[in-house]
Every structure is written in C-alpha cells, then in structure tokens.
Amino acid sequence: MAATKLSYADLLQTNNIMRCQGEETLFLGITRTVQESKFFPVSAYVMLGYLNAFYRYPALLRKVEAAMPPEEIADRIRNTNSKLKSMGTNWCMPNFYLLGREMLINMGVIRPQDAAEDVAYVLDFWRRYQLAWRRDDGHLTNLEGGHRSQVLPERQVQVMHADMFDCAEGDELHEAAINFTAAISQYAVLIACESRVCMTNHGPYNLGEDRELLVREFFDLGQGDLPWLDDIADELPFSRLTLATGVKDTHFYIVDDWGSYEAKPEYKAENLVTVGLYTSDDLSETHIPVGMGSREELTQTLNDYAQKLKDVTTKLWERLAGYQREQLMDAGAFTYFAIIRDFAHVAGVYDQEDWFTIDERADRFRVLLNDEYGNEILGALFVPLSLNSHQQNEYQMMRHSGMPKRTYSPIPYTVLQAEDDDYVASVGPDLSPGVTYLPEKVDRYWTTRGTMTADELNQATRDFTPRLAGEDLRYLDDAWVKYNFDTPLAASLYEIDQEQSRVLAGKGAGLRRDDVERLRSE
C-alpha cells in the first residue's frame, strides 16, 4: 500500500505546475527589475514572507475550503475589484509558497518529498481557483493567455466603455486623471512597503477606432487589514478603486502575471482619451461608479482624492520612517504572505492572527535575514538559479535562459511506492504561535457598507450572496450569452452591471460594441 494519499495524477499535475511557474518566474525576473530600497529591507522581508507562506498556507487554505470551496469564492467575486484577481493569485500565491519551500530545501531543513501533500494541495487549490475566476478568459494565467489579461465579461466592459468620460491632453479631466494616477500609484507602492502588490492592470480590451481599454485596480487603500494604516487612512473613503482608462494609438502587447504592461508605441499620458472611476468590494454586487454623474463631478472627485492620497502618503511615510527594522520586516512580510487573505474574508473566516503574525517555525530564521543574505538568496532563487537544488544535467536548456537549471524541485514519484514511507506529508494541520513586532490592529474595517469590526465583516460576508452567484445566474458566461442574449435571463444578468450605469441602464444584453459607442456619443 502506498504511503501517501497522493495519486500518480496528482503528482504529475503538481510537478507540471511547478515547472511552468518556475519558468515564468525566471521570465519575470529577467524582464522586471528587482526592487531595491533604502527605506525597507525589501529582499529580507520578502524571504520572511515566503517562509511564512510555506508553513502557513496549507492550514489556512484548508480552513478556507472547509467554509467555502475555491470555485465558489471565484463566483462570488467575479463582478468586483479584488486582490484575488491580481498578481496575488496569478503569480504570488503558488510562487511565494514554492520559493519558501525551495529556500528550505537548500538549507537542508526539508527534502523535495517532504510536505508532498501540502504542495499538491496548495497548487491544486490555486489551479481550481484560477480556472474558476478566469473562466471567461479560459486561461489559467496571463502567461497561458499570451501575456494578456482579458478577464472581464462583455457586460462589464460595455458599462466601462459606455460611461467613461472623454478627455484630451490639456483639459481639466485629463490633468486630474494623470494627477490622480500618479498619487494613487505612489500611495499604493508605499502601503505595500515598496512592492506593487496593491495595484494591478487588466486588459487590454479593444474599444475600436484604435483605442484600447486598460483597467487599473488598486487595493487596501483605506483602513482594513494593514495595521500600519490604522487611523491614518480613515480619510480615504474607499479601500478599493478601479480606474478605467481608454488609450488611443497604443497597443498593450503585454499584461503579465505581475499586472505590469508593455505597450507599442510606448504608453504616453497624452494618449489617454477616456476615464472612469469605480469602487467595489466583497459586499457589493458589482462596480459602483464614483463621481461618474458628470464630467465635472469626476474631475473634482479625482482632484479631491489625489490630494487626500498625497496627504495620507506623507503621514504614512512619517509613521514608517519611525519604525524599527523588525517592524518594517513584519510589514513587508505580511504584505507578501497575506496577499491571499481575501480568500478568508470572502469565506467569512478571517482572523487577523492567522494572516498578520509570523509563524514561529518561519520566524526562527529571521536572524539570518540581513540585507545582504536577503538580496543574494532572492536573486539566486529568481534568475541565476545558482543554488544546488537548481542544477540539472548538462543536456538541459531551460526555457528563456538555455541554462541547465530548474527553478523548483519536483516531488519524486517514488513517494508513490509502498517501500518509500520515509517522508512526512504535511507541515501539520495547525498553525504554530505567531510573532509580530507591530502595534495591535485597530478593529475597524472600511467597506462599501460602512465601517465594521472583523467579526461584523465575517458575518456580513457569510450573510451575503451576490446575485451573480445565485443558482439562476452562477453558470451564465459570455459563451451562454452568445446564444441566449435575447432572453429575460440574459437581461437579468446584464442588469446587475447596468443598474448604476449612466448610459446603459435597462439596455439589456443585445448591444454590440458599435451600439455602445453610439449610445455614449449621444
């Protein structure tokens, strides 16, 4: 009898995911610069976050799934802005976990076969979730889709297309949009401790007439889970914002799994021609327009919000400048490790202790995480692949580099053999006690339904089933709409997104792109 519950098929899938993710990690490492900072010990906190992911993700994801399977989580947030629809799941979740594992293998603390069931489980949870939230797109990742992120259904793209306001270089709305984008990008990088995990880009979508829609999303802006925003971010009324941007004469030919884009010709602010602003969260049915009543209202809203963002940026910078190194390490490590905590929020089982403490099994290595070791180990794990576990036979030519190397150690298939029972399947079902050097979190969360405590928020998410996730609408996608657009059920589906649309309210499911363009021009 085999010593494991894993099947051959499980292991084949697990090793395939590891191989593909490893190759994409190399590509992203080559084409995206490694961040450095004199403010934050970035690489060191990144590694602490990876180690925490290895020890905690299995138990935390099992806790989430006991309350709600990943496919249902995907169906509940399909219509809204969520960090679970960003680099947080496209790349971070599997790779944070696997990079922590690879680090421990190279330390000699674990072997490739240790925690085999955990590895298979985490990657399978990820795969199921990815397939579900990206089902309209049909790809597991942006990589698989040719570095595109066309994840929105037609009904949502239509509302953005219709309701965005025109702008042109030199006018007030254009200037406000540019100012706002700079301010929110700056703030997003600061709250994420010098990382880009609090913003992402989706798209492009073809608006016709040489225009493309790029949807820019920002998370964790207001007071929520991040302890370093306590009190400071109260004046920001929305925790999540979606900026819809139409850009002319520019093709976004890469939108990668880190949410970064490349354009030809190069993106220039002067080519921004339409803009719209929305908020949403796990308690809203869909995107809620913000300041979208008129062009003037949107201009004012963007300007007001940009000023608030700049004020809060200064306050937060001053707070972080007073932090000790261990506090900066914690903030950064939590920013990384807890990037998937919204699984717990949507499932209604969120506990701050789960996601904002460093498990003592990971914390024991903190003392090694000086700046130099952090930089060197992070670099070695991404591009040169210079650690022992990376080395392969000399005939191998790795994708993107041609080197005889491999990012992640596959699980050996011998674990399926009856005689090989000398491994442990899991790091264990429970979390070990956690450590944090940050002040205790203030129990106050901004949502689209007002401020709540963590318990109230859990209860509210448990009580809320979006209409889209109801039994009648849950399985309706764009492929179904193609053949059923003239039915009352299709109208019900489109009504969710059109309800608050200035231009498309009540217009139903039958509109084509040219119809939307004509309506927005009337």
Partner 1 sequence: MVKLYTDTDKFESHEGPVVVEAFHSALKDLVRSSLDKAGVSWKEFVFSKEYEFITPEAIAAIEQSVVESGYRYQTSAVISFIERPEAYSPIAGADATSDTFSFEHADAVTSELEDGRAQVGQGDNVATYAKNVIGTARYYRSIDDVMTGLREGVPANTVAIIDDSGGTLTAPIIEQFTGIVCAGGTVRSHLGILTREYGIPCVMNSKISGVVNGDTVEVGVSGAAKTTEAYQQGREMSVPVWKHASAS
Map the footprint of partner 1 across residues 71-110, applying CB under 8 A.
105-110
Which of 365, 437, 464, 480 binds partner 1 (CB under 8 A)? It is 365
Beta pairing class for 211-218 and 199-208: antiparallel
CA 369, chain centre distance (Å): 26
Which of 7, 16, 35, 451 binds partner 1 (CB under 8 A)? It is 35
Site for partner 1 in 332-361 (CB under 8 A): 361
- Count of residues of this chain found to bind partner 1 when the rule CB under 8 A is applied: 81
The 427-466 site mask, x for binding partner 1 (CB under 8 A), equals: xx--------------------------------------
| Complex with partner 1: residue 131 or 254, whichever CB lies closer | 254
Q: Is 372 in the site for partner 1 (CB under 8 A)?
A: yes
Which of 140, 182, 454, 519 binds partner 1 (CB under 8 A)? It is 182
Q: Is 168 in the site for partner 1 (CB under 8 A)?
A: no
Those residues whose C-beta lies under 8 Å from the C-beta of residue 314, and which sit 6 or more positions away, are none
Which of 186, 206, 448, 465 binds partner 1 (CB under 8 A)? It is 186
| Complex with partner 1: residue 76 or 361, whichever CB lies closer | 361
Q: Which of 418, 240, 223, 216 is nearest to 315 (CA)?
A: 223
Site for partner 1 in 236-255 (CB under 8 A): none
Tokens of 383: 């591009």
The Cα–Cα gap between 419 and 75 comes to 43
| Complex with partner 1: residue 310 or 513, whichever CB lies closer | 310
Which of 102, 194, 230, 282 binds partner 1 (CB under 8 A)? It is 194
Which of 131, 380, 473, 503 binds partner 1 (CB under 8 A)? It is 380
The Cα–Cα gap between 242 and 201 comes to 10
As separate numbers, helices (DSSP H) first and strands (DSSP E) second, the chain gives 18, 12
CB of 195 to partner 1, least distance (A): 9
Q: Is 368 in the site for partner 1 (CB under 8 A)?
A: yes
| Complex with partner 1: residue 43 or 158, whichever CB lies closer | 43
Which of 13, 206, 260, 301 binds partner 1 (CB under 8 A)? It is 260
Site for partner 1 in 274-303 (CB under 8 A): none
Q: Which long-range contacts (CB under 8 A, 24 or more apart) does 260-263 make?
A: 260/32, 260/196, 260/201, 261/201, 261/203, 261/214
| Complex with partner 1: residue 421 or 486, whichever CB lies closer | 421
The burial of 413, by beta-carbon neighbours within 10 Å (0-12 exposed, 13-18 middle, 19 or more buried), is given as middle
| Complex with partner 1: residue 16 or 314, whichever CB lies closer | 314
Q: Using an 8 Å Cβ cutoff, are 223 and 234 in contact? A: yes
Q: Using an 8 Å Cβ cutoff, are 179 and 298 in contact? A: no
Q: Is 2 in the site for partner 1 (CB under 8 A)?
A: no
Which of 317, 413, 437, 464 binds partner 1 (CB under 8 A)? It is 317
The 463-502 site mask, x for binding partner 1 (CB under 8 A), equals: ----------------------------------------
Direct distance between the N- and C-terminal alpha carbons of the chain, in angstroms, rounded to an integer: 72
Site for partner 1 in 391-420 (CB under 8 A): 391-393, 404
Q: Looking at 327-393, which runs of residues are DSSP E strands?
A: 358-359
| Complex with partner 1: residue 38 or 419, whichever CB lies closer | 38
The Cα–Cα gap between 223 and 244 comes to 23
Those residues whose C-beta lies under 8 Å from the C-beta of residue 187, and which sit 6 or more positions away, are 221, 309, 310, 312, 313, 316
Which of 11, 377, 403, 516 binds partner 1 (CB under 8 A)? It is 377
Q: Using an 8 Å Cβ cutoff, are 161 and 511 in contact? A: no
Span interacting with partner 1, options 189-197, 238-246, 283-291, 439-447, rule CB under 8 A: 189-197
Q: Which residues pair with 165 in a beta bridge?
A: 275
Tokens of 331: 């903030």
Q: Is 131 in the site for partner 1 (CB under 8 A)?
A: no
Span interacting with partner 1, options 32-40, 222-230, 244-252, 441-449, rule CB under 8 A: 32-40
Q: Specify whether the backbone of 272 is left (phi greater than 0), alpha (psi in -120 to 50) or beta.
A: beta
Span interacting with partner 1, options 228-236, 377-385, 480-488, 496-504, rule CB under 8 A: 377-385
Q: Is 189 in the site for partner 1 (CB under 8 A)?
A: yes
Q: Is 521 in the site for partner 1 (CB under 8 A)?
A: no
Q: Is 389 in the site for partner 1 (CB under 8 A)?
A: yes
Backbone φ and ψ for 451, nearest 5 degrees, come out as: -85, 145
Q: Is 9 in the site for partner 1 (CB under 8 A)?
A: no
CB of 406 to partner 1, least distance (A): 10
Beta pairing class for 288-289 and 199-208: unpaired
Which of 209, 235, 296, 422 binds partner 1 (CB under 8 A)? It is 422
Span interacting with partner 1, options 17-25, 93-101, 139-147, 389-397, rule CB under 8 A: 389-397
- Burial of 287-321, coded b for 16+ CB within 10 Å and e otherwise, reads bbbbbbeebeebbebbbebbebbeebbeebeeebe
DSSP H/E element including 202: strand 199-208
Which of 31, 294, 307, 417 binds partner 1 (CB under 8 A)? It is 31
Q: Is 387 in the site for partner 1 (CB under 8 A)?
A: yes
The burial of 170, by beta-carbon neighbours within 10 Å (0-12 exposed, 13-18 middle, 19 or more buried), is given as exposed
